[in-house]
């Protein structure tokens, strides 16, 4: 029975509240109209503000990463010295307030925006342009310094690469010249060896002839003995002359063999020098050079993706949002005023009954 009483009481209370609200509907409507009217008047009186914004990309380092983001931009632009310089360059008053907002968009793009009246849109665009110009100017020294360091590395590696390639070219030419000398030396050695063989054959022939002459001297008669002896003397002189030439050829052969050894030693030295400048070393230098050039290409200062531009429609006041808020507020105030009035009437009635 108690539970039923409680539920009945709740139902009675809710019904009473509904009756009060229905009874005070005129009050609620009046309050609602007043709130709506006030909201519309205020919206009409408030100046229309347009958003002027630009999109920028932060500077990047040699690894391709962004050096700073929204927080740095915000602190930099709102710095007293930066703002003072900005106002001075744009000939603004010192007490002029600049409400500049920073938002991070996708892909690390930063949106810089200002809200201004339609008459001040051009000034806002100039302010944003000047902000971008000033940040570029401030960051340019750091970016330029990094690029100069990489330029030095690139220059040094290009010199090393060029020097090694020139050395290789010179060594290749020297090896080619050495090979020509070796071939020439080999030809001369072959010629000397051939001459030695020829002279040896002639000496063998003379030796045989001399032997035959001696046999003839022993068998000859006295009348022809003198001619044969004279012929033998001539053969002996020729034999000695050939021996001298043969010795000279042997000496030339020794010189050529010695020259051949020297050329082989020189060739080995050139090969060793070439091995010191290996293809692998050149490839490493080329890889370093490519890496430095890639790093330099990714270093960039702050970049403007979209220049300052205004929105087509005003961003403030927000008419629909303000009307919705005024409707909700009007209903709440109307209901509250209705309950207050009802409570006040009941209190007066109660006091009258008691009296």
Q: pLDDT digit string (tens) for 15-68? A: 888 888 888 888 889 999 999 999 989 888 888 888 899 988 888 877 777 777
**In whole angstroms, what is the distance from residue 253 CA to residue 265 CA?**
18
In a 10 Å sphere around its CB, with 0-12 CB exposed, 13-18 middle and 19+ buried, how is residue 119 labelled?
A: exposed
Q: How confident is the model at residue 231 (pLDDT cuts 50, 70, 90)?
A: low
Q: Over 80: is that where the pLDDT of 253 sits?
A: no
* 293-310 mean pLDDT: 84
Please check whether residue 261 lies inside any domain of the structure: yes
Same domain? 333 vs 280: no
Residue with tokens 């020509």: 180
Same domain? 174 vs 257: yes
Q: pLDDT: is 189 or 212 the higher one? A: 189
* 319-337 mean pLDDT: 91
Please check whether residue 99 lies inside any domain of the structure: no
Please check whether residue 61 lies inside any domain of the structure: no
**In whole angstroms, what is the distance from residue 109 CA to residue 135 CA?**
15
Residues in the chain: 355
**In whole angstroms, what is the distance from residue 81 CA to residue 85 CA?**
6
Same domain? 198 vs 166: yes
Cis peptide before 317, with omega less than 30 degrees from 0?
yes
**What's the confidence (pLDDT) of residue 329?**
93
Same domain? 177 vs 252: yes
Phi, psi of 100 (to 5 degrees): -110, 130
Please check whether residue 241 lies inside any domain of the structure: yes
User: What range does the domain containing 341 cover?
Assistant: 1-46+317-355
Please check whether residue 97 lies inside any domain of the structure: no
Q: How confident is the model at residue 324 (pLDDT cuts 50, 70, 90)?
A: very high
**What's the confidence (pLDDT) of residue 328?**
93
**In whole angstroms, what is the distance from residue 86 CA to residue 94 CA?**
10
Q: How confident is the model at residue 216 (pLDDT cuts 50, 70, 90)?
A: low
Q: How confident is the model at residue 230 (pLDDT cuts 50, 70, 90)?
A: very low
Cα→Cα distances 177→182, 183, 258, 318, Å: 9, 10, 18, 89
Q: Over 70: is that where the pLDDT of 219 sits?
A: no
Cα→Cα distances 268→163, 178, 260, 263, 278, Å: 22, 10, 12, 9, 15
Please check whether residue 121 lies inside any domain of the structure: no
**What's the confidence (pLDDT) of residue 30?**
92
**In whole angstroms, what is the distance from residue 312 CA to residue 73 CA?**
26
Domain closes at, from 265, 297, 329: 297
Please check whether residue 182 lies inside any domain of the structure: yes
Those residues with Cβ within 8 angstroms of residue 253's Cβ, 6 or more apart along the chain or in another chain: 189, 192, 193, 196
What do you get for the CA distance between the two ends of the chain, in Å? 37
Same domain? 173 vs 276: yes
Same domain? 200 vs 333: no
Same domain? 27 vs 166: no
Q: Are 333 and 31 in contact (CB under 8 A)?
A: yes
**What's the confidence (pLDDT) of residue 325?**
92
Same domain? 173 vs 282: yes
Same domain? 233 vs 337: no
Q: Per-residue DSSP letters for 129-172?
A: HHHHHHHHHHHHHHHHHHHHHHHHHHHHHHHHHHHHHHHHHHHH
Closest CA to 73 of 104, 114, 51: 104
Upper half-sphere CA count for residue 153 (Cβ side, 13 Å): 18
Same domain? 292 vs 335: no
Question: Residue 115, SS3?
Answer: strand
Same domain? 238 vs 345: no
Please check whether residue 126 lies inside any domain of the structure: no
**In whole angstroms, what is the distance from residue 43 CA to residue 41 CA?**
5
Number of domains in the chain: 2
**In whole angstroms, what is the distance from residue 131 CA to residue 38 CA?**
39
Same domain? 272 vs 177: yes
| CATH number of the domain enclosing 279 | 1.10.287.1490
**In whole angstroms, what is the distance from residue 101 CA to residue 299 CA?**
26
**In whole angstroms, what is the distance from residue 121 CA to residue 317 CA?**
16
**In whole angstroms, what is the distance from residue 316 CA to residue 322 CA?**
10
Q: Over 60: is that where the pLDDT of 170 sits?
A: yes
**What's the confidence (pLDDT) of residue 221?**
47
């Amino acid at each position: 029975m108690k539970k039923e009483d409680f539920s009945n009481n709740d139902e009675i209370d809710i019904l009473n509240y509904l009756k009060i609200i229905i009874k005070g509907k005129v009050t609620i409507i009046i309050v609602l109209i007043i709130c709506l009217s006030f909201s519309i008047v205020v919206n009409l009186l408030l100046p229309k503000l347009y958003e002027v914004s630009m999109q920028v990309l932060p500077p990047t380092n040699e690894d391709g990463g962004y050096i700073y983001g929204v927080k740095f931009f915000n602190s930099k632009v709102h710095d007293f010295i930066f703002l003072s310089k900005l106002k001075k360059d744009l000939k603004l008053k010192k007490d002029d307030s600049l409400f500049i907002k920073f938002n991070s968009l996708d892909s690390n793009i930063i949106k810089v925006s200002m809200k201004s009246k339609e008459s001040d849109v051009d000034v806002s665009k100039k302010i944003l342009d000047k902000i971008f110009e000033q940040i570029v100017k401030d960051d340019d020294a750091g970016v330029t310094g990094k690029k100069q360091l990489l330029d030095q590395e690139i220059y040094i590696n290009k010199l090393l690469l060029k020097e090694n390639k020139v050395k290789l070219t010179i060594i290749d030419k020297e090896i080619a010249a050495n090979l020509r000398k070796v071939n020439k030396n080999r030809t001369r050695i072959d010629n000397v060896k051939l001459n030695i063989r020829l002279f040896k054959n002639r000496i063998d022939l003379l030796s045989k002839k001399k032997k035959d002459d001696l046999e003839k001297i022993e068998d000859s008669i006295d009348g022809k003995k003198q001619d044969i002896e004279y012929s033998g003397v001539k053969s002996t002189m020729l034999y000695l002359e050939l021996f001298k030439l043969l010795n000279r050829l042997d000496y030339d052969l020794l010189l050529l063999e010695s020259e051949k050894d020297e050329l082989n030693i020189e060739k080995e030295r050139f090969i060793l020098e070439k091995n010191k400048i290996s293809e692998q070393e050149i490839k490493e230098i080329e890889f370093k050079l490519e890496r430095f050039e890639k790093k330099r290409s990714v270093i960039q200062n702050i970049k403007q993706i979209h220049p300052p531009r205004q929105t087509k429609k005003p961003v403030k006041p927000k008419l629909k949002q303000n009307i919705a808020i005024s409707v909700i507020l009007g209903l709440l105030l109307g209901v509250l005023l209705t309950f207050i009035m009802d409570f006040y009437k009941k209190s007066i009635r109660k006091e009258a009954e008691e009296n």
